[in-house]
Amino acid sequence: MTPSTPRIESGLNLPLAGYPILSIGRDALGKLLDQRLKTQQKTVLAFANTNLVMRCQHLRGWLCSQEVILVNDGIGVDLAAYLQYGQMYQENLNGTDFIPYLLQTLQSPCRLFLFGGKPEVIGRAAEVIARASHHAVVGFHDGYTPVQPAELRRMINDSGADVVLVGLGNPLQEAWVRDNLAGLQASLFINVGALFDFLGQHVKRAPRWVQRIRCEWLYRFSQEPRRLARRYTLDLLSFFALCRRYPRWHIGNPAERQGPA
């Protein structure tokens, strides 16, 4: 950690499969990100669900770096943490709920750039975000129209964005942020998964009561069985097997980032 980096007293790392996943409440995480924005400390926020753990193994070294904050997302990682450490994460910090909360609670107005999603969805998502928060959406680009990396970086930098939301899915969004981070002037990068689809009403979320009992994954599976069948069957079994293969990397302060090789 650098001297300007606030120590995260309210959270502990509960590592899984070599990833340093932070156990923290949304209020404390929101304050941490607000502070990082104010000091212009370049930060990446990623949501570690079972899909990220399985599909981002080749990016694990970077995801363990100091510039990345990994938080838990979903009942799968909660169950794995309970089996390994006898405790679950403080809160379920899925991006679909946390990001709107964060945008409402950031103290200073920000300039947002959105990258990802389908061409017919990203514009609607930008409108929803602009209407629902005190921040300005200064640009967006969908995830399907080809664009050279240097040109996209120029677009983002010219927009003056402070925050970049990237919705390409795992592992594309994580790889894109890693590969382009050094050439971008924004301070905060958030991997948002399917957020744009939900905001643009391209994909319907589960009813609130289903979300409360933490069965949204089952609702999504019922909506897209062919696409999600492997993720919620074979990949889920492989996830638990992978967690078991790793030693109990000790629970510790988030400053202690480096996991097993």
Say if strands 12-13 and 21-23 run parallel, antiparallel, or are unpaired: antiparallel
Give the separation between CA 169 and CA 150, rounded to whole angstroms: 21
What digits encode the pLDDT tens for the residues 144-174?
A: 999 999 999 999 999 999 999 999 999 999 9
In b/e form, how buried is each residue of 232-254, taking b as 16+ CB within 10 angstroms? beebbeebbebbeeeeebeeeeb
Look at residue 232 and tell me whether its pLDDT is greater than 80.
no
Q: What is the CATH number of domain 12-244?
A: 3.40.50.2300
Share of the chain above pLDDT 70, in %: 87
Per-residue pLDDT band at 250 (split at 50, 70, 90): low
Q: What's the pLDDT at 239?
A: 93
Look at residue 210 and tell me whether its pLDDT is greater than 90.
no
Look at residue 6 and tell me whether its pLDDT is greater than 50.
no
Q: What's the pLDDT at 7?
A: 39
Instruction: Return the higher-pLDDT residue of 62 and 248.
Output: 62
What digits encode the pLDDT tens for the residues 103-123?
A: 999 989 999 999 999 999 999
Residue spans of the domains in the chain: they are 12-244
- Global pTM exceeds 0.85: yes
